[in-house]
Amino acid sequence: MNLDDVRTVHLGQFTHEHAEEIAGELERAGIAWWYKAPGFFSQIWELGVRLFVDRDRLDEAQVIAAKVLARGSSAEERDGPSQSEGPSHGEDYPEGEGSSSGHT
């Protein structure tokens, strides 16, 4: 896959723990993904990590995210689910716009 041709969409905003689990599953599925973690100041109002995925594989990525969220996690059992956590409806973001790291 040529990453120059990948266009991303917003998968959703997740806790750091869920974002890491989802990213691992996305990699195993061969789905290109990026993330945007809140910066030093924006972590005050941004409560999680935003994940972006290859728009051509959004449906697969949403299924993966839903499975990870359904499994739960030790942090969720301790603290409860994030208020803003979950998949979005997929807004388009060309590579490099709104993303801080590229992974495949």
Return mean pLDDT, the chain.
Answer: 78
Counted domains in the chain: 1
Reply yes or no on whether the pLDDT at 8 is more than 50.
Answer: yes
> Is residue 57 a part of any domain in this protein?
yes
Of all residues in the chain, what percent carry a pLDDT higher than 90? 50
- pLDDT, residue 86, reads 58
pTM reported for the whole predicted model:
0.68
- pLDDT, residue 22, reads 97
81 exposed, middle or buried (CB, 10 Å; 0-12, 13-18, 19+)?
A: middle
> Is residue 104 a part of any domain in this protein?
no
> Is residue 61 a part of any domain in this protein?
yes
> Is residue 96 a part of any domain in this protein?
no
Residue 36 three-state SS: strand
For the stretch 44-86, pLDDT in tens is 888 899 999 999 999 999 999 999 999 875 544 434 444 445 5
Domain extent at residue 81 = 6-90
- Residue 19 · residue 86 · CB < 8 Å: no
> Is residue 98 a part of any domain in this protein?
no
CA 30 to chain CA centroid, Å, is: 14
> Is residue 31 a part of any domain in this protein?
yes
CATH code for position 64: 3.30.70
> Is residue 100 a part of any domain in this protein?
no
> Is residue 99 a part of any domain in this protein?
no
